[in-house]
Structures are given as C-alpha cells and as structure tokens.
A and B are shown apart, each in its own frame.
Chain A
C-alpha cells in the first residue's frame, strides 16, 4: 500500500493531510460553533468572537503563568459564588413560565428605587436564595482551592479562563447587546464590531502588546532562573542579572503518533494542540446537541432564536437566556483561544482574533444557524485547505480553495449545507 500513488501523491500523504485537515477543521469548528450559537440564539453575527477567544485565553494565561494572587482568588471565587446563586435562582427558566417584569417609564425615580429595593429584599430573604448560598459557598471554596494549585497550572488556568470568560460574555450581553433588543439586527452586528475594538484596547492596556506563550504540551523541566548579561564590572567580568523563573517555555513535546509504518510506510502524526482542539470541538458539539434537543433551557433557546418578541410574550426570560448563551459561548471562545495559543504562535492579538475571521467560510458553508453545519463546515474547510496544500500550494489553500468550495456550495444551496430555509409569508 505504501507504493500507491494518486495524482502524484503517496497514499500516506493523502491520508496524513486528510487527518491534519480534520484536526485543524476541529479548531475551525470550535470557533464556528460559537459564532453559530450566538447567531442561532439572537440572530446576531458576532464579529467580536475572535476577541472573546483572545481575552478568554489571557484569563487562562494570567493564572496559568503567574498563579492566582490573593486579589484574583477572592475576585474569581466571589464571581463563582454569584454565578452559582444566579444559576440556582434561575433554575427551570426554560420550563417555568415567568412573566417579564414591566416598569412604567412615568414612575418617579424614588418609586423605582423603592421597587428595586423591595425586590432585592424579597430575593435576599427568599428560601431559594438561602438554599442557593450553600452550593455557592462550596463552589467559592472549591474555586479558591483550584486557583491555588501549584502542581496543576492547567487546572488553575482553566478555572480562571472559564469564570473570566463567563463574566466577559455576560457583561458584553448585558451592556451592549441587551439594550439593542428590538432594534434592527444590523445595529447589534455593528455593536459586536465595536465590542471587538473595546476588548482589543482593554487587553492591550492591561496585558500590553507582548505575545504570550502557553506552554501546555511541553516537557516537564526543572524551574531555573533566566539571566542576561547587563554590564561589566571593574575587573572586566560580565555582570549577569536574573530576570525571573519560568519566563521562557520549556521544550515542546513531539506530535502524537500512530504506527502505520508497515501499512503506509510512515507513522501518522497528530499535532497535540489540534488533536485536543478536535476532541473539545466534538465534545462541545455533542453537549450542544443534547442541550438544544433534550433540555428545557435548550427548548427556550430555540424559541428565543425563532422569535424573541414571541418568546418574551409567552413568558420566557429572553434576556436571561441570552446572558447564558453569551456566557457559554465566551467560554467556548476562550477554549479555542487557548488551544490555538498552545501552538507556536502563542497568545497573539494578531493571530488569535484573526482565526475567527478565517472561520467565516466554515460558518457560511455549514449554514449560519446550524450547530451540525458548524462542525461539518469546519471539518470540510480544514480538509480542503490541507489537500490544497498537498496538491497545489499553501497560498492556494489559504486564499482560494475554501472560498471556491464555499461559492460552489452556496450557488446550489444558498442557506449552506445544513442551514434552514426560511419562507416569509406575506
């Protein structure tokens, strides 16, 4: 079999490049899933997704690399507790019909303040809130414990990344998307562009311009001080100054390998970050299929996606659902950012957000409202790219092939492979 050649390429190469295509397609799919889910739930095409990937990655990196300071531990534990309380208080939002609160704009501010105060008092003294405090307290303690794991940098980074991403996602939804409910969709789409710029500026202010390596798939190595020569003393000897510990990544681990030498002549290789990215994409896909198809909150999300006004009018808490969607998608974005950052490029403000732009063909190919389409579209684009690299060139693979496939598919199926065909009846 190792001698078989197809269009000038060995069978091994065709299989190996297809495998790489599927794996890199997994990364595309993970990113595409986030874009599709936001679009599915709110009809908004989220141009800020790449920046959610980047900031989620930075939350991970911050605690992964430097550990959690006391302030970070307290802040994230408190945030976790609040999220748990919120979760418990909102349980059953999909099934239980709750009429939305309405407030009159003609009320005076004293009356409104009093109303809010009364509502908070009722909430804080409710049995449900008191019950919610127990898991919240446990969650906060567990979070504090996990954030301070000296032996597991990945675990502590993941905790920070997840909670930080949820907060960012919900923040973005509450203060930029929610006020635009009922406004033309284009306004919300343009708002996502603005969110991208805001996150870009905020990350640069807080973390600076440097690229951050995420040495996850690396050899274990002894922590040693890094020093540089900074001057010469009176005797002509070089002075070395210690900069710090662990500031340079250890040696990377080679790809996973599957021994196919006897059958194909070479062993198949699986780059570690892509393999994990693919596995997470599949797991996320299955989780969302389950969520959308078999849970009451999934049903509520689908109803919200279908028609926000109608969903709200039947008592679904559309705003809360959207907050949950944005929080969840921000976590997915953060995971994609970290996975991509574990490759050689590190967490780069250039490379990470741009990946979301490169995923657009996958989103359109699969269908902008299809979770299955995101997965399939991502994998197809990945395979097309890799086989184009093999048979033509990298330039063709990156700049032409995905778009040619996209145009061809959209010509015959304008809604994408799995997109829903909508009929507007007059």
Chain B
C-alpha cells in the first residue's frame, strides 16, 4: 500500500494552506509624505562618479537567525528601506554621487562564523574592502575588538557592552557604539528611580535585582561601578540571577530569590523573549504593580510588548533616540512614511499586517540613523582623504576620534564621539504605555524625562563614586 503518497499530498496541501491568507484586511490611510529631509550632513567635496565609482557598500554581519533575530531581521528591512531612501534624490542621492549597496552575512549567533566573516570582509582588496564594519552584538564586538585595532578597521556597533568599547585595560579602542554603554544606561535608570520613587507610589527603599541573560550582553549592566553609583543615589542592590537565553522553562525561582533579598525593582538586560519571561514571572507571582521592571534601551521595544502584551505596560527603560511615536520630528516622519509605504501598505491580510507591525521596532528605526551616520562619516573621510580610494579604516577612525558630532535623521539620534568616548552620551528615560483612545488600544513608548547626559560609569569613569 502506498499510503505515504496520500500522506505526502495532504501534508503539502496543509503546508500550503496555512501559509495562505485567511482574511483580507482593510487598507490604511497613508499619512502625509510631503516632508523633506533637512540634512545636517557634511557636504561632499569629491564626486565619486568622477573617480569611476558608481557603488559603495555598507558592510555588516551578525545574528540574523539566532537569538537576536526578532530584532535583527527588522534591521535588514530598515537598512534596505533606508538605503533606497538615501539613494533617492530626496535622500541625498547616495554617498557623494555613488549609490549605496549592502553586503551582509548571517552568523546565526555563532561566534566562529563571526570570526570567519570578519576574516572574509577584512581580506578584501581595493574598493571591495570595507572601511568600517557594522556589527550587531556585544559578544562579536568583544571577540573582534583586538583584531579591529590590529587591522585598523573601525567597528560601528549596535550594542553597548563596556568591554567591547574599552576592553579590560579601559583603553578606547576601534569599536564605536551607536547607543550608550549599558553601564551608563543603568546609571541613568538609577537616577530616574532615585528622583521619582515616591512619585511612582512605590513602597520601601528602591532595591534592584538583576534578572538577565547569561551572556556578555546580559551581564553588562551589573558592574561594581553601576552598583556603587546606584547605591550613592540611595538605590540598593539585591543581587543578580543570570539565566540561559535558550530553553529556560520558568523564572519563578530566580524572581523569588531576588524578591526575598529585598528587590522591588527587577532590571533585565535581555531581548524580547527574556524580557517577556521576566514580566510573565512577575505577573505569575502576583507582584505586578509592586515591582518596577526596568532595562536598557532594548526593553522598550515592539518585540517586548508583542510578546508580553498589556503586561508590559509601565516597563521603564532608557531611550537614546526618538521613538516612532514622536512624529513632530521630521526624521521620525520619514521613517514612518517609509514603513507605511514599504511594509504596512503591502500587507494584504491580518497575518502580514501583524508581521509588518513587528518590524516597527528599534532595529528598523535606528537602522536609518546608522546609515545616515555612516554616510556622514564616510563623506567626511572622503573629503579628508581627497578620494574614496585613499580612505582607510584609519581615516574613519580619525574622523570619529577627533570630536565627532552628528545629529542623524534630523535630530532623531545625537551621536558624539571623541578620543575618550566610544558611545552615545545622552539619553532619556521612557516607558511602555498602553493607551486606550476612541475604542482603540494604542501601545506607545513615551518619554518620562528630558534628554540628559548619562553618567560615565566605565571603570575609573568620571561619575563612579570613589
């Protein structure tokens, strides 16, 4: 009997049907798109077309299919849309007359593959060789930090572990973070807690327990310096529990240890699944409202409230950029318009609209600022070197090292680096807020404070209590 053929056919039918649309959804109203970018970017002194260069590549690699994928896949979507915009006349026509292209690889979270791609990229010659490489994860940056310095290849990093930026010996290296270091973000969070604890209606002395991933990223907020700084502000320390990002069934035990030690704040340095697990453990324990949940910038993301839903209402974190909802900023408007045109409007059913909604996250938003930053840095380097071919990693390093400042996407993100600073220095505190308006639920991420300078909490940093 050849029943397997029938089984095969049925299986194919099932696989095909589940992927098909189940219902048609109503179309959205496209917002006004008459906004023009008033770029503060450096002017090109050289036209690359005159040099016979029609394309320049933006190189990046990282985890697109492993732990970071809910965040990193929208990054590629954002970079693709941003690249199309910047290549258009409205967006400046590319990089000094050359069209921008992307070259990227997926490491799947495998450190060995990251090393492999690094070797591949850095061994290229001529115009095919990257002058700067964009990485996503702290772990990759920490592993490649020394090689970057040896090969004089600057790294632009989406994350912010202090080790990757300053190493064990606290030397500013060749890694430049597009967000503040996690230690500095922790410091800002403690400032906010110390200033607003009573106003929040919380009881007892504010005491932090860390419940984070057991990887470089997860452990980067909890340092001797952040503990000392927070304690100097009257924010106590209850301890830290680090769990594996993969296959941890429940966090009730870890939460109990921390709350027994007096924690009434749980600070989690995790991404979507981890943050959601932490939130669910707190709800499960019936402690919602009695415990403040905080984290670095990654906790204020669509991926977190996409998983934890309304339970994420009130989660507090740091924001070193304007969020999607701050539409009074023209840069944010440009990103929103592109997202509506390229992602939301092309979705034809509920499933596709949900998928589009999940790309409306940190990665998509900040990828625009990153590419804008890259264009500006490259432009300045080309101007300085006199031609694209003369630009090396060292030229770019010198540009970033010599008091670089740039307001990317017309103020959406403020970047500032100098000889001593390898990460963003300003941010504000924000929170997830589930607003109900006109019968609709509107999940937003809104500011709780003004933009302010972050404390410098690296080892030996200016704000570390003596």
**Is A357 in contact with B11, judged by CB distance below 8 angstroms?**
no
B354 within 8 A of A: yes
Asked if A295 CB lies within 8 Å of chain B CBs, one says no
Asked whether, in the complex, the Cβ of A229 is within 8 Å of the Cβ of B324, the reply is yes
Pick from B6, B32, B69: contact of A232, CB under 8 Å:
B32
* Contacts known (A75-B14, A211-B307, A248-B443); A243 close to B285, Cβ less than 8 A: no
B329-361 interface bits toward A, Cβ cutoff 8 Å, 1 = contact, 0 = none: 000010011011000100000110111111010
Interface flags, B11-33, vs A, CB<8A=1, else 0: 10111111111110110111111
Count of chain B residues near A, Cβ 8 A:
99
Q: Are A252 and B311 in contact (CB under 8 A)?
A: yes
C-beta contact mask, A165-190 vs B, less than 8 Å → 1, else 0? 00110110011000000000000000
- B286 CB contact (under 8 Å) in A227, A232, A255: A255
Q: How many residues of A contact B (CB 8 A)?
A: 99
| Central interface residue in B21, B22, B248, B274, by most chain A CB within 10 Å | B248
A116 touches B2 (CB 8 A): yes
Decide if B285 touches A346 in the complex (CB within 8 Å).
no
Contact code string A380-419 (vs B, CB < 8 Å = 1, else 0):
0000001001100111001100000000000000000000
Given contacts A243-B357, A344-B276, A348-B273, contact A82 B6 (CB under 8 A): yes
Q: A210 an interface residue at 8 Å Cβ cutoff?
A: yes
Q: Which of B201-255 contact A (CB under 8 A)?
A: 214, 241-254
- Provide the residues of chain A in CB contact with B10, threshold 8 Å: 75, 78-79, 82, 167
CB neighbours (8 Å) of B336 from chain A are 229-231
Contact with A along B296-313 (1 / 0, CB 8 A): 000000010111111100
B272 CB–A CB distance under 8 Å: yes
Q: How far is the CA of A358 from the CA of B10 in the complex (A)?
A: 33
Tell me if B124 is interfacial: C-beta within 8 Å of chain A. no
A241 engages B344 (CB within 8 Å)? yes
Whether A231 contacts B327 by the Cβ 8 Å rule is: yes
Q: Is residue A249 contacting chain B, with contact meaning CB distance below 8 A?
A: yes
Which residue in chain B gives the minimum CB-CB distance to A386? B253
A145-183 with Cβ < 8 A to chain B: 164, 167-168, 170-171, 174-175
Residues in chain B near residue A210, CB distance under 8 A = 70, 306, 354-355, 358
Question: Of B20, B279, B355, B443, which is within 8 A of A69 by CB?
Answer: B20
Known contacts being A210-B70, A242-B26, is A20 close to B252, with CB within 8 Å? yes
Residues of A within 8 A of B95 (CB): none
Output the least CB separation between B77 and chain A (Å): 11
Instruction: Establish whether residues B245 and A170, one from each chain, have CB atoms under 8 Å apart when the complex forms.
Output: no
Contact B28 A230 (CB under 8 A): yes
- The answer to the question of B453 belonging to the interface, with a C-beta cut-off of 8 Å to chain A, is no
Instruction: Choose among A72, A116, A238, A245 the residue that contacts B327 (Cβ–Cβ < 8 A).
Output: A238
Main secondary structure of the interface of B (DSSP, over half): helix
Interface 1/0 per residue, A8-33 and B, CB below 8 Å = 00000100110010011001100000
B110 at the A/B interface (Cβ < 8 Å)? Answer: no
A111 contacts the other chain (CB 8 A):
no
- List chain B residues, Cβ under 8 A from A13: 256, 260
User: Contact between B442 and A240 (Cβ–Cβ < 8 Å)?
Assistant: yes
Q: Which one, A131-139, A201-209, A286-294, A366-374, is touching chain B? A: A201-209
Check B325 for interface membership: any CB of A closer than 8 A: yes
B281 within 8 A of A: yes
- Contact A213 to B309, CB < 8 A, known contacts A206-B19, A354-B246: yes
- Digit string of A353-365 for contact with B (CB within 8 Å is 1, else 0)? 0111110000000
Alpha-carbon gap, A218 to B283, bound state (A): 11
Contact in complex: B29, A239 (CB < 8 Å): yes
Contact with B along A42-80 (1 / 0, CB 8 A): 000000000000000001001000110101101110110
A-B contact count (CB 8 A): 293
Chain B positions 410-466 with a Cβ under 8 Å from a chain A Cβ: 436, 439-444
Within 8 Å of chain B (Cβ to Cβ): is A234? yes
Contact yes or no, A398 B6, CB < 8 A: no
How far, in angstroms, from A75 to B11 measured CA to CA in the complex? 8
Q: A315 interface residue, CB < 8 Å from B?
A: no
Contact B31 A250 (CB under 8 A): no
Chain A CB within 8 A of B284 CB: yes
Q: Which residues of B contact A252 (CB under 8 A)?
A: 280, 283-284, 309, 311
Contacts of B254 in A (CB 8 A): 389, 394
- A352 CA / B309 CA spacing, docked (Å): 20
Chain A neighbourhood of B252, CB < 8 A = 20, 255, 269, 271
* A248 in contact with B310 given A120-B2, A227-B442, A344-B279 (CB within 8 Å): yes
B3 & A86 in contact (Cβ 8 Å cutoff): yes
For residue A191, give the distance in angstroms from its CB to the closest CB of chain B.
17
Report the separation of the CA atoms of residues A254 and B282 in the bound assembly, to the nearest whole angstrom.
Answer: 9
* B411 CB to nearest chain A CB (Å): 16
Complex interface: chain A residues within 8 A of B328 (CB) = 232
Interface residues in A243-287 (C-beta closer than 8 Å to B): 243-245, 247-252, 254-255, 269, 271-274
What's the Cα separation between A24 and B274 when bound, in Å?
A: 17
A23 to B253, CA, bound (A): 12
Minimum distance in angstroms from B347 CB to a CB of chain A: 9
A96 within 8 A of B: no
Please tell me which one of the listed residues B21, B214, B242, B440 contacts residue A240 in the complex, with CB atoms under 8 A apart: B440
- Nearest Cβ on chain B to A33's Cβ, whole angstroms: 16
A215 at the interface (CB under 8 A from B): yes
State the CA gap A162–B279 with chains docked (Å). Answer: 30
Q: Which residues of A contact B32 (CB under 8 A)?
A: 231-234, 239
B4 and A232 within 8 A (CB): no
| Given A20-B250, A243-B354, A69 and B22 contact (CB-CB distance below 8 Å) | yes
**B233 CB to nearest chain A CB (Å):** 27
> Given contacts A210-B358, A398-B244, are A244 and B25 in contact (CB under 8 A)?
yes
Q: Is B200 among interface residues, defined by CB-CB distance under 8 A?
A: no
The chain B residue with its CB closest to the CB of A251 is: B310
12 of the cross-chain contacts (CB-CB < 8 Å) are A75-B10, A209-B65, A230-B336, A230-B339, A231-B333, A247-B350, A248-B443, A269-B252, A269-B285, A344-B273, A344-B281, A398-B248
A-B interface, 10 closest residue pairs, ranked by CB to CB distance from nearest: A231-B31, A344-B280, A71-B17, A249-B309, A354-B246, A344-B277, A354-B247, A241-B28, A69-B22, A358-B247
For the complex with contacts A174-B7, A244-B354, A271-B252, 17 further pairs of A-B residues with Cβ separation under 8 Å are A17-B253, A20-B250, A20-B252, A24-B249, A66-B23, A76-B14, A82-B3, A204-B65, A206-B15, A231-B33, A238-B327, A242-B26, A271-B250, A343-B277, A344-B277, A346-B273, A389-B257
